[in-house]
């Protein structure tokens, strides 16, 4: 995974390489060891019914913070969970958020996982970010989303 410069691209490639003909990768196939240092920018959500009961199983140290105001990076990712579940596809989100009270620009991914290949049991999240520069205008939370 060394050849991909962007964290979200590396995690997306790992997920794509483990997708099965019959469906999504299993939770056990997303190994923190395989993702290496990238795991510090990843999170894992256990999906529950109703979706509002879904919860974090793991949050990497670079994403850990007071969970979860609506404009925080982790809160923003959770707000997209219903869309990922209803569309049954991975989602890439780019835009602005807050992290530890600081405005940031981020690129994030939410990628479905399934124990039986059909029912989404978990969602893998990955996010890279940088602080918003003083001369950059705040453009709000989400600036772009695309399905994978």
- Judged against a pLDDT cut of 60, whether residue 133 lies above it is answered with yes
- pLDDT tens-digit profile of 10-24? 999 989 988 877 789
Please indicate, yes or no, if residue 52 is contained in any of the structural domains.
Answer: yes
The model's pTM is: 0.87
Q: Which domain holds residue 54?
A: 7-147
Q: How far is 42 from 61, CA to CA, in rounded Å?
A: 9
Is 13 domain-assigned? yes
Measured distance CA(144)–CA(44) in Å, rounded: 22
Q: Which of 114, 119, 122 is nearest to 24 (CA)?
A: 114
Q: How far apart are CA 37 and CA 71, in angstroms?
A: 25
Specify if 2 maps to a domain. Answer: no
CATH code of residue 60: 3.30.450
Summary mean pLDDT of the chain: 86
In a domain, 1, yes or no: no
Q: Is the residue at 76 inside a domain?
A: yes
pLDDT tens profile 27-43: 888 877 777 889 999 99
Q: How many domains does the chain have?
A: 1
Is 22 inside any structural domain?
Answer: yes
Sequential DSSP letters for 43-77:
EEEE--SSGGG-EEEEE-TTT-SSTT-TTBHHHHH
């Amino acid at each position: 995974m060394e050849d991909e410069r962007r964290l979200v691209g590396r995690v997306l490639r790992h997920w794509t390489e483990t997708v099965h003909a019959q469906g999504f990768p299993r939770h056990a196939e997303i190994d923190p060891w395989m993702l290496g240092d990238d795991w510090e920018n990843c999170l894992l959500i256990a999906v529950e019914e109703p979706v509002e009961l879904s919860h974090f199983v793991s949050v990497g140290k670079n994403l850990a913070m007071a969970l979860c105001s609506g404009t925080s990076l982790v809160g923003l990712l959770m707000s997209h969970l219903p869309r990922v579940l209803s569309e049954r596809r991975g989602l890439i989100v780019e835009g602005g958020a807050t992290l530890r009270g600081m405005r940031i620009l981020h690129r994030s991914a939410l990628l479905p996982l399934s124990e039986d290949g059909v029912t989404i049991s978990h969602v893998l999240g990955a996010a890279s970010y940088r602080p918003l520069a003083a001369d950059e205008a705040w453009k709000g939370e989400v600036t772009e989303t695309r399905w994978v």
